[in-house]
Amino acid sequence: MNGNILKMQSTLPGDKTVQYELPIGEKFLPMNEHIGDTIRLHYQAEINCIACGRKTKKSFSQGFCYPCFRSLAACDMCIMKPETCHYAEGTCREPQWGEEHCFIPHYVYLANSSGIKVGITRGTQLPTRWIDQGATQALPIFQVANRLQSGLLEVALKEHVSDRTDWRKMLKGEAEPVDLRVMRDELIERCDAQIAAIKAEQAVGDIEQLDSEVVEINFPVQEYPEKIKSLNFDKQPEIEGRLMGIKGQYLLLDTGVLNIRKFSGYNIAVDFV
């Protein structure tokens, strides 16, 4: 199979083991069934923007050409730092896109990937967001009306817990299980004053504290790498190795780890040998 790849699609069935498919061209390649096989991926020296489709010599922000990177709301800094949302100032790059993606319910959550972290995501992206981060446990703690509100809460909470994933640590094994509900209660208590201040500036009912159950996530991994070697199509057009497992958006090969999402839009030929 060959074609432009996108980030792997994932589902979480009843047994809580993530099922992966790799979008390649117009098809979807089931990946779980190939764990243990030798995979060969060959970069065809062509990149197409995942937004407009034009050929580009370099990919920006995981799959965009430079013009789209500069013009699309999905690539604006406020996506990475939602507390800087500037829609109300009338300067949103794409107001309609913002209304469809930012002014919808969002969640603030705790996740355990390389350790405990706080994060935010649209309601439509659960549990995908947790899976993409390689989290083995996750717990939504607030539901809010829009992205800006989730960002404000995240800023308050990350004074006491990280908002980042150590991807190298995440790929070396399973995180030590923790009681996320206890951690949630302790964190909210420590941030009580900041949370109250944020709520006071928002419409009544926009921010709801949740009492959810912890979501457990298992990843299809036969063996974790002892050392983390990052593989890169820009430096090594042909990548081959035994597929030992998949975690987050990474293929774990016995020759190194490959972040599929990083190479969205790359034209890749894939076969198993």
Domain membership flag for residue 215? no
pLDDT, residue 273, reads: 86
Mean pLDDT of all residues in 215-228: 96
Per the structure, the complete domain to which residue 120 belongs is given by 76-209
Longest Cα–Cα distance of the chain, Å, equals: 60
Number of other CB atoms surrounding residue 196 within 10 Å: 9
For residues 66 and 127, give the distance between their C-alpha atoms in angstroms, rounded to a whole number: 30
For residues 76 and 8, give the distance between their C-alpha atoms in angstroms, rounded to a whole number: 23
Mean pLDDT of all residues in 217-228: 96
- Report pLDDT digits (tens) over 38-53: 999 999 999 999 999 9
* Mean pLDDT (the chain, rounded): 97
CB 58 within 8 A of CB 69: no
Q: What separation, in Å, do the N-terminal and C-terminal C-alpha atoms of the chain show?
A: 13
pLDDT, residue 215, reads: 97
Do residue 166 and residue 264 come from a single domain? no
Long-range CB contacts (within 8 A, 24+) of 24-29: 24/268, 24/270, 25/1, 27/1, 27/3, 29/1, 29/270
pLDDT, residue 218, reads: 97
Do residue 96 and residue 44 come from a single domain? no
Domain membership flag for residue 226? yes
Do residue 179 and residue 253 come from a single domain? no
Sign of CA dihedral 232, 236, 239, 243: negative
Domain membership flag for residue 166? yes
Which of 187, 209, 231 finishes a domain?
209
Which of 157, 188, 209 finishes a domain?
209
Domain count, the chain: 2
Domain membership flag for residue 214? no
Of 264, 138, 149, which is closest to residue 206 (Cα–Cα)? 149
Do residue 132 and residue 224 come from a single domain? no
pLDDT, residue 191, reads: 97
Token representation of residue 164: 């980042």
**Is the whole-model pTM more than 0.75?**
yes
Mean pLDDT of all residues in 119-143: 97
Mean pLDDT of all residues in 42-65: 97
